[in-house]
Chains A and B, each alone.
Chain A
Amino acid sequence: MDVDLLLFIGIGLVAVISAISMLASRNAIYSALFLVINFITIATLFLLMNAAFIAMVQVTVYAGAIMVLFLFVIMLLGAERLKPTGSLPWQLPVAILLGAALIAEVVFALFHGASNAAQGLSENVAQGFGSPTSIGLILFDQYLIPFEITSILLLVGMVGAVVITRDRGKESR
């Protein structure tokens, strides 16, 4: 048994369990925290796959910024426990069924096809693969325009968020 494989299975398990826990938790704060764990495991996987920069970005932005935002909103809105209502009782079984179907299909798609699927990832990787340098080089060279547009996008998102949540009561007066 390969160390890599073991490692992968372990981290994968943690990811899956944390995801399921996020799903099943009644308390929204707990869900958010579970999601953070999930993000960190994903970041670890990124790291293991020679995507160092992206792993750090993941932790910084996702776990650091986005989840904080989530927690802010949860606290703002009072994460009350929702009373279970009987509006769509059949939604859960159907969803689980369909989920199983999806997993089955994905597995089928992956393991039915090409023969070199079971091969492991190759060992020879460039030295600076996934380093900030290499990503930066491509980012500012080939993908400059998308980069700039992304900045505009962030700006729009920011402004949009402010505009949407603005208190209209004061404005109408």
Chain B
Amino acid sequence: MLSSEIVGGTGLFSIAPLIIAFPILGLLINLIFGRRSNEKFVGIVASSAIGLAFVVAVAQFVALLGQPAGAAVHVADWITIGEFSVSWSLKVDTLSATMMLMVTGVSALIHIYAIGYMHDDVRFQGDPGRYTRFFVFFNLFVAAMMILVTADNFLMMFVGWEGVGLCSYLLIGFWYEKGADGIGNAVAGKKAFVTNRIGDFGFLIAMFLIFGAVGSLQFDEVFHWAHEHGLANEGVITAITLFLLLGATGKSAQIPLYVWLPDAMAGPTPVSALIHAATMVTAGVYMIARNQALFAVSEFSSSLVAIIGAATALFAATIAVAQFDIKKVLAYSTISQLGYMIAAVGIGAQVAGMFHLLTHAFFKALLFLSAGSVILGIEHGHHHVEHGSSGSAEAFDPNDMRNMGGLRSRMKTTFWVYLIGALALSGVPPFAGFFSKDEILTDAMQENMLVYILLAVAAFFTAFYMGRQILMVFFGKARSETAKHAPENPPIVTVPLILLALGAVIGGGLNFPGLHSLTNWLEHTLHVHVSEFNLQVSLISTCLVLLAIGLAWLLYGRKPMQEGQVDPLRRLLGPLFVGMENKWWVDEIYNAIIIRPYIALAAFLADVVDWRFWHDWFHDTILARSFRAGTHWLSSGFDAHVIDGAVNGLGSLTKEAAARLRLVQTGYVRNYALALFVGVLLILSYFLFV
């Protein structure tokens, strides 16, 4: 196993802990000084912190070039109880370095984007104090993600796991007073947290099982154990991996715990881009990839992982087809693409999965940020319209694609980068998505036919809904006054977009067929196999994609949608469309089956059991009354009768005795003399006879 080649951290490896320290430092500075400084200061501090973290990540990359086996950097001891010890240690190897680079790089770009985006947010939503809070949370998220990625053991990874979940909650509910009924965003944040928690529960159980079976939580030791004793303990390992899978479905939004991610779009766009596209949601994929040693032992778990991933990919894609919110389409798209990645690591194609993870990070972040740019433009336009005309008082949703249209001419840069992102996502060669998706499909065709079919159909849908989106938003005529006046955004918003677009274009080079750079890179950490370029698979997928784009153009391009017009797909598919639009009523089913009974049970326990039974009846009736009875008995029964009786009795006894003894004093001298005489006789007898 490779663990024997890992050595301690020296040289460049020793600065690895800074990758966590810099974001923490950034957030502390903003926390303490942020209120008193201006937006620029806060933004620069936060972005610089991430930038420095990126530099550290590059340094690790360089160090790994010289020492590909990696290193373990011990920072501090954490728990030491008997033979169980867990420490804060960083595991710097090719897999974690990949994640480090991607996360810090994309985060840095999104931080810069957020400086401009949140400024406008302040302009439109008020309250400048939020600006600082946003960046504090953002930095905290990166710090937690770094802990997760660089963890040397399950427990430390869990700390990061929980940390990113917390930051997700904080950032989704960032505009906490907005949303449906004034608490909609907060509810969305809560939903994300609770759903994630169910996954975390799985992760915890898996940790307990691992500790029970192995006696240690350190990755190297666990994987070594799996390698040695895996076949003998297949049952335990299956249980462990199933629970780990539960954790992954929570964090990476797979069936059945994906329901939080669409609602998470209530958060600001940079949040959606960073957390719910590029980084947090990939934590599940990373975790399964890291635990390859365990999943390789259990056939059942691996197959289940693959099936769940593939099924999610298709399921989410069908929902995305019928969504009208620009960000919801992208959210379901994210779930679908995550399904691809999960399926990949499920069928043993870890490299393909990681490859897709990287490319997806680029183009999904790009898409989200561009969508944010579009939304900003629409909001500007709305502002312009509101102030210009008499002002229509109807509710205006800036995210609704039906209010857009024809933005190609007005927001040129945004349009081009969005197009690049969409093409990359659809898997059109030579963009990045094509190579990564095809590698997954190739491996799927060889390993599991069912998975391949599901993923291929999902690819068709992916291309279709992206085409639909592009055509609805940017082509045709503007469907509302606002869209007519939407302006392009300033460079601070558009420059990060361009940079990401570059990544989407050339990202394929990461694991270009023939070069297999990523495969070789990851070989030092995982068991990998080279996935050769399969012309058949690529041709099939390209045909599917072109077919889908053509279909989209037929429906939305040839006769662009007019204002107030019903979506043409609704007429075509009828009830299917209704199902897709309503997310197949999954949320409603969960609500009915799980949430409502739970709330009813909680209400019952709280009102009836706790309040009426425990407080009212038990406490008042039994405790209070018995206490009162007890004290009453003690005071009037016991105290009055027994104690007073004893004391009074003593007194009356004395009186009685005195009254009796008093009578001895007869007053007669003769009696006294008699007594004397008796005494004399007694003494005399004593002397005589004793």
Contacts and interface: CB of A to CB of B under 8 A. Distances in A.
A88 B685 contact: no
Contacts of A98: 674, 677-678, 681
B84 interface: no
16 contacts: A87-B668, A88-B666, A88-B670, A88-B671, A91-B670, A95-B674, A98-B674, A98-B677, A98-B678, A98-B681, A102-B677, A102-B684, A105-B685, A105-B688, A108-B688, A109-B688
B481 to A, nearest CB: 136
Interface centre among B666, B671, B688 (most CB of A within 10 A): B688
Contacts of B674: 91, 94-95, 98
B671 A102 contact: no
Contacts, number: 26
Given A91-B671, A95-B674, A102-B684, 18 more contacts: A88-B666, A88-B668, A88-B670, A88-B671, A91-B670, A91-B674, A94-B674, A95-B677, A98-B674, A98-B678, A98-B681, A101-B681, A102-B681, A105-B681, A105-B684, A105-B688, A108-B688, A109-B684
A101 B684 CA distance: 11
A98 B670 CA distance: 14
Interface of B: 666, 668, 670-671, 674, 677-678, 681, 684-685, 688
A77 B677 CA distance: 29
Interface string A82-108: 000001100100110010011001001
Contacts of A91: 670-671, 674
A170 B678 CA distance: 44
B contacts with A: majority SS = helix
B280 to A, nearest CB: 115
Contacts of B685: 105
Nearest to B670: A91
A87 B684 CA distance: 30
A87 B667 CA distance: 11
A104 B527 CA distance: 128
Contacts of A88: 666, 668, 670-671
A88 B674 CA distance: 12
Task: Enumerate the 6 nearest inter-chain pairs by beta-carbon distance, A residue then B residue, closest first.
Answer: A105-B684, A109-B688, A101-B681, A98-B677, A91-B670, A102-B681
A44 B674 CA distance: 32
A101 B677 CA distance: 11
Contacts of A109: 684, 688
Interface centre among B666, B674, B678 (most CB of A within 10 A): B674
Interface in A91-136: 91, 94-95, 98, 101-102, 105, 108-109
B670 to A, nearest CB: 6
Contacts of B677: 95, 98, 102
B684 to A, nearest CB: 6
B333 to A, nearest CB: 127
A39 B678 CA distance: 27
Nearest to A112: B688
Nearest to B685: A105
Nearest to A108: B688
Interface centre among B666, B678, B684 (most CB of A within 10 A): B684
A53 to B, nearest CB: 32
Contacts of B681: 98, 101-102, 105
Contacts of B688: 105, 108-109
B224 to A, nearest CB: 112
A88 B672 CA distance: 12
B75 to A, nearest CB: 109
Contacts of A87: 668
Contacts of B684: 102, 105, 109
B669 to A, nearest CB: 11
Contacts of A102: 677, 681, 684
Contacts of B666: 88
Interface string A55-95: 00000000000000000000000000000000110010011
A109 B686 CA distance: 12
B676 to A, nearest CB: 11
B529 to A, nearest CB: 131
A88 B673 CA distance: 13
A105 B683 CA distance: 11
Nearest to A105: B684
A101 B679 CA distance: 13
A94 B670 CA distance: 12
A101 B681 CA distance: 8
A94 B684 CA distance: 18
A37 B497 CA distance: 158
A95 B681 CA distance: 12
Nearest to A102: B681
Contacts of A95: 674, 677
A110 to B, nearest CB: 11
A101 B670 CA distance: 18
A87 B288 CA distance: 119
B404 to A, nearest CB: 134
Nearest to A94: B674
B578 to A, nearest CB: 125
Nearest to A106: B684
A104 to B, nearest CB: 10
A108 B685 CA distance: 10
A91 B677 CA distance: 12
A105 B687 CA distance: 11
B678 to A, nearest CB: 7
Nearest to B684: A105
Nearest to B666: A88
A102 B680 CA distance: 9
A170 B138 CA distance: 124
Nearest to B688: A109
A94 B678 CA distance: 10
B665 to A, nearest CB: 14
Contacts of B668: 87-88
Nearest to A95: B674
B124 to A, nearest CB: 123
A161 to B, nearest CB: 21
A24 B670 CA distance: 16
B347 to A, nearest CB: 126
B677 to A, nearest CB: 6
Contacts of B671: 88, 91
A94 B671 CA distance: 11
A86 B149 CA distance: 121
A34 to B, nearest CB: 21
A72 to B, nearest CB: 23
A123 to B, nearest CB: 32
Contacts of A94: 674
A35 to B, nearest CB: 19
A94 B677 CA distance: 11
Nearest to A109: B688
Nearest to B677: A98
